[in-house]
Amino acid sequence: MSSINVENVRKDYGGVKALHSVSLDIKDGEFVSLLGPSGCGKSTLLYCVAGLEEISGGRVLFNGNDVADRGARERNIALVFQDYALYPHMSVRENIAFPLRRQKLDSALVTKQVNWAAELLGLTGLLDRSPSDLSGGQRQRVAVGRAIVRNPAALLMDEPLSNLDAGLRVHMRTEIKRLARELGLTVLFVTHDQEEAMVMSDRIAVLSNGHLQQFDDPMTVYRNPINRFVAEFIGSPKMNILPAPNGNAKIIIGARPHDMNLVKDGKANTDDFAVTGTLAMVEPAGHVYFLDVEVGGTLVKATTADIGWSAGRR
Amino acid sequence: MALIDQHEATVLPPRRYRPRPPLFAYLASSPTLLMVVLVVGLPLVYSIWLVLHRANPITRKTTFAGLSNFRNIFKDPAFWEAFGRTLYFTGFALIGTTVIGMAIALVLNKAFFGRGFMRSVMLVPWAMAPVSVAVLWSFIYAGDVGTLNAALNDLGLGAWTQAWLGDGNRALNLVALTHVWNQAPLTALLLLAGLQSMPASLHKAAMLDGAGPVGRFFRITLPWLRPSLLFVCIIATINALMAFDIIWIMTRGGPGQATTVFAWLGYVYSFQFLRFGEGAAMLYVLTALSFACAIVFVLLLGPSRWRRRAQADTANAGAPNVAEAAVKARPVTLEPPKYKAPLLPRRARRLLAKALFRLAVLMIFLWSAVPVLMLLNMSLTPATDLIRTPASIIPSALTLDNFREVLFPDGGTTSTQSKRVPISLMNSFIVGTFTVLIAIALTPFAGYVFARWPRARSFQIGLWGILFTRMTPALTLVLPFFVIYRGLGIIDTRTGLVIAHLSILLPLIAWMMKSTFESVPQSLDRAAIVDGCSRFQMMIRVMIPVIRPGLVAAAIFGFLVSWNEFLFAMILTSTPDAQTIPVVLSGYLQQARFHEYGPMFAASVLSILPPVIIAFVFQRYLVQGALSGAVKG
Ligand SMILES: Nc1ncnc2c1ncn2[C@@H]1O[C@H](COP(=O)(O)OP(=O)(O)O)[C@@H](O)[C@H]1O
Ligand SMILES: [Mg+2]
């Protein structure tokens, strides 16, 4: 395992600037998520670290060593692709063994390692299958197996869960986090799902349009977003953005729906921030109700645990 | 558990389920099937009758001969010699087209400036008529004044000049090479399609797993291309076995017997010795050989047995809940692979790779374009320059005289052959247009039915019939056509030629239409019917507009096939009234009058003009045509 330092990395595709001077310092054994809307440069950054793309400027260091002179083959990086990229003509066993065989390891050792990885991921009974005979979740685990079977300097994952259905996604994110911690892997995990990033990571790097917005631990990113983009991107439902009550146009107020509750009888504490509006819609979400409240032409989302009203009342 | 396994519950109808097609299906497909029976089935039956009979050319009496025609040719040593040559020619062509086609495909699969242009250039040798190809290359290899000798003279290597096609073995190799030049683009095209369907992540993953470029080619690219390679090998083999036009123009089986392959021997038996039965027998051996090769390839490259679907019970056993198992430590902590600093820094390696890639692109350009540019050069060279000694490829002046001669023939100076060029161009155009119009009017309906009811037995028979005609040499059909046409009095007419070309185009375009409709989701049919269309209205209002690009591709492709067709046109026409441009081109060579080289090359350039325009302007359609199963020789 290594630490990874990304220093002022830029990437241009012809005229398109995919990354503008991004810097990250990832510690050995740390789990870092790259979070951002699609097209913001997450995959590009991952590929730059892996050596699959040439960087246009800046440096990438593994354990303090500049790896500019190493191609993707020589960086000892493992990458789990969004489409898993399993070799379709090889069995699961051969897929997992592939990186070891490229290192010309002794075949007994290869078998041992493959069996270990298969057992770890619950693939033992599937080793002789072809990838086309696997379900999405199984393929995903084969891809992870192929990545961890050798001892990679870092494990990069490019939206590995986005092709799974909701339940499996939740299950797998716990699995991956556990695996990473117990094997002490340095992980760079790409996702556009803020919840995924929150629950999995030690730190989250929020990207937008090729710019790094914020790089902090999940709760800091949630509680102290550095700017409006981060504030709006993190948290579901989205944060409400409201004008300041004192009329100062330079200040806007962000309030998370979970922090906006109904006040009984229209009496709020004087030091609380309060708005009044028309209730447009109620969305039951199980543990809470989401309320769409129309305040001066904009919809504000709020929550309440208990509601005695119906839509349309003030 | 349940979450994991529900992905596998793809619902497939049981194998034996064959939905009964509605009446509409039979009505829609019957015109095409009927036409195919008429223009392919009938001649085929007649040729089978021929092969079972012996005709005495003098008394004109035919007697039933059983299989004795086959016995006779098997006793003929010439047959076995031709057999050996056919195998050699086919092997040469197969290896040549596959290696060169693969190289072209790999290079043109990379993104670089000018790739679209290069793809068009690459297609030109294949889009050209084999007759034009052969005319060009036979002059390149010609003794004394040939282009190759002229170029050697210009380079001061006069001592190396020779009659390139004069030596038997060399002639066979050079003819095979010419065939490769003509056919490699088809292989490249099919492999390119296979490469483009490969997910980019596959190579990235292999790179990260430590595989180098060569390793990735053999371990990732080749296995991925296996289905394409199977198809490519079958097509290349059939096309090589059936190769006829090039031999007819370049060597006519000679020198001696050196280039007499089966196709040529069958032609000689049928049309020179007039031993129809034995000629037909020879050609059926060719059909059998095609099938045998196809089977061998399927066994070698087809889907492998060991990858049989695993049993359902192991499937369930194999998915324990991961969360329950404790994460065990690695059995062995692997050392990271040793990093050896490479000989050259990464920058230098990249530059070197780039330079090599540029070189490869240049080579493809030279291979594909230089012979065609030579043809253009010769057509603009004064006719007298082409026969001067010592020969030189540098024209003393550039002139349009050759074109003037073939396009605006005047009474006095123009040769008879050149006078035929304008009419033949028009004939080619008329025949191509009508053939395509008829095929396009009929086949979408049949294609739709084949695509939607592929399991209905009657349609399966139809499809297999279409495949079978693909493996039958056109030579087998041409003799029955000749006899039938003489009876009907439509020999030497454009109508006759249109019908003959339909025998090639109907199966081809029906197949293309089938592939096109297979890509149209069936929900569209249902939507149209729910919205109140009858089946027929659905075809006209919804389906035809939806597949219009496919239709255009089929039309362009079909026109090219008809424009380039030589054998039917040669046998079934005799006067300028119906002769098409390949026939007139070949006529130049038969007259072989030196001063006609200039006009001959001008006519050649005119003959390749539509194919070249199509390759450049309608490249997309041409490629789509080739990919949707059209497998023109
Ligand atoms: N090969 C490429 N050529 C040109 N532009 C590219 C290429 N790859 C990515 N881009 C551009 O770079 C930006 C970032 O892309 P990407 O890293 O794939 O986004 P993400 O993974 O965050 O969705 C996008 O605007 C995309 O269009
Ligand atoms: Mg991406």
Q: B156 and B259 share a domain?
A: yes
CA distance B625 to B511: 10
C-alpha to C-alpha distances, B343 to B340, B348, B354, nearest whole angstrom? 9, 10, 17
Inside any domain, residue B241? yes
Of B322, B345, B379, the last residue of a domain is: B379
pLDDT at B308: 43
Whole-Å CA distances, B604 to B82, B174, B216, B567, B587: 31, 20, 43, 17, 12
CATH code where residue B216 lies: 1.10.3720.10
Quote the domain boundaries for residue B151. 77-298+362-379
Q: Which residue numbers in chain B have pLDDT < 70? A: 1-19, 56-58, 60, 304-327, 411-414, 591-595, 628-633
What is the rounded distance in angstroms from the CA atom of residue B306 to the CA atom of residue B151? 55
* Of residues A209 and B10, more confidently modeled: A209
B505 and B374, same domain (yes or no): no
- Domain end point (choices B349, B379, B409): B379
Which ligand 1 atom sits nearest the alpha carbon of residue A47? 17
**Residue B63 is assigned to a structural domain of this protein:** no
CB contact (8 A) between residue B210 and residue A99:
yes
Residues B374 and B407 reside in one and the same domain: no
Element holding B55 (H helix, E strand): strand B53-56
Q: What is the pLDDT of residues A273-282, one digit of tens each?
A: 777 777 778 8
Are the Cβ atoms of A87 and B223 closer than 8 angstroms?
yes
Atom of ligand 1 nearest to the CA of A37: 22
Q: What is the pLDDT of residue A310?
A: 43
Q: Which among B253, B237, B247 has a CA at the least distance from the CA of B87?
A: B237
In a shared domain, residues B125 and B29: no
- Stated pTM of the model: 0.85
pLDDT at residue number A271: 63
- Nearest residue in A to B203, CA atom: A85
* pLDDT tens-digit readout, B226-280: 888 888 888 899 889 988 899 988 888 878 888 889 889 988 888 888 788 888 8
Residue B311 lies in a domain: no
Question: Is B245 within a domain?
Answer: yes
Structure tokens at B571: 């046998």
Q: Closest Cα partner for A164 from A123, A136, A185? A: A136
Residue B3, domain member (yes or no):
no
- Say whether both B240 and B92 belong to one domain: yes
- Both B86 and B29 in a single domain? no
- Please determine, for residue A50, whether its predicted confidence score (pLDDT) is greater than 70: yes
Q: Which residue has the higher pLDDT, B411 or A262?
A: A262
The pLDDT-based confidence of A5 (bands split at 50, 70, 90) is very high
Same domain as B35, residue B162:
no
Residues in chain A closer than 8 A to B7 (CB atoms): 135-137
CA–CA dist A111, A97 (Å, integer): 8
Mean pLDDT of A8-19: 91
CB distance A238 to A228 below 8 Å? no
Length of chain A, in residues: 314
**Is B336–A171 a contact, with Cβ atoms under 8 angstroms apart?**
no
d(CA A47, CA B561): 46
Question: Which class for B307: exposed (0-12), middle (13-18), buried (19 or more C-beta within 10 A)?
Answer: middle
What H or E segment, with its residue span, contains residue A12?
Answer: strand A4-13
CB contact under 8 A, B318 and A122: yes
Q: Report CA Rg, chain A.
A: 23
For residue A240, give the H/E element and its range: strand A240-243
Domains of chain A (ranges, CATH numbers): 4-233 (3.40.50.300), 240-304 (no CATH)
In a domain, B557, yes or no: yes
Report the pLDDT value the prediction gives residue B363, as an integer from 0 to 100: 95
Is B290:B238 a contact under the CB 8 Å cutoff? yes
Give per-residue burial for B345-365: e unless 16+ CB within 10 Å, then b: eeeeeeeeeeeeeeebbeebe
CA B113 remoteness from chain centre = 28
Is B121 in the same domain as B197? yes
Write down the pLDDT at residue A150. Answer: 86
* DSSP annotation string for B423-462: HHHHHHHHHHHHHHHHHHHHHHHHHHHHHH-TT-HHHHHH
Cross-chain residue pair A151–B320, CB shorter than 8 Å? no
Angle at CA of residue A11, ends A7 and A16, nearest 5°: 150
Q: What is the ipTM of this complex?
A: 0.85
Chain A residues in contact with B337 by the CB 8 A cut-off are: 76, 103
- pLDDT number for residue A250: 75
- Regarding whether B123 and B42 lie in a shared domain, the answer is no
Structure tokens at B192: 């390119």
Hey, is A23 helix, strand or coil?
A: strand
- Considering the domain architecture, whether residues B613 and B577 belong to the same structural domain is answered as yes
**A276: nearest Cα among A297, A295, A304:** A295
C-alpha angle with apex B224: B218 to B227, nearest 5 degrees? 120
CA distance A55 to A9: 7
Whether A38 lines ligand 1, by a CB cut-off of 6 Å, is yes
Same domain? B489 vs B611: yes
Q: Is residue B393 part of a domain?
A: no
- pLDDT score at A34: 94
Domain termination site, one of B330, B346, B379: B379
Distance from CA of A161 to the nearest CA of B (A): 13
- The pLDDT score that the predictor gives to residue B1 is 34
> In whole angstroms, what separates CA B623 from the centre of its chain?
12
Tokens 């008829």 correspond to B438
- Could you tell me the two tokens for B282? 């020879």
Q: Is B38 or A96 the better-scoring residue by pLDDT?
A: A96
**Token pair for residue B161?**
């000049």
| H helical segments located in A70-165 | 92-102, 107-120, 136-148
Query: If you take atom 6 of ligand 1, which residue's CA is the nearest one?
Result: A13
B201, B331, B346 member nearest A83 (Cβ): B201
Under 8 Å CB-to-CB from A53, ≥6 apart: which residues? A11, A44, A47
User: Mutation test of the interface with chain A: which of B228, B304, B305, B322, choosing the one with the most A Cβ atoms within 10 A?
Assistant: B322
Nearest to B204 among A74, A85, A135 (CB): A85
pLDDT at B524: 87
Q: Is the pLDDT of residue A7 over 70?
A: yes
pLDDT at B412: 59
Same domain, B408 and B373: no
Let me know if residue B306 belongs to a domain: no
Tell me how many domains chain B contains.
2
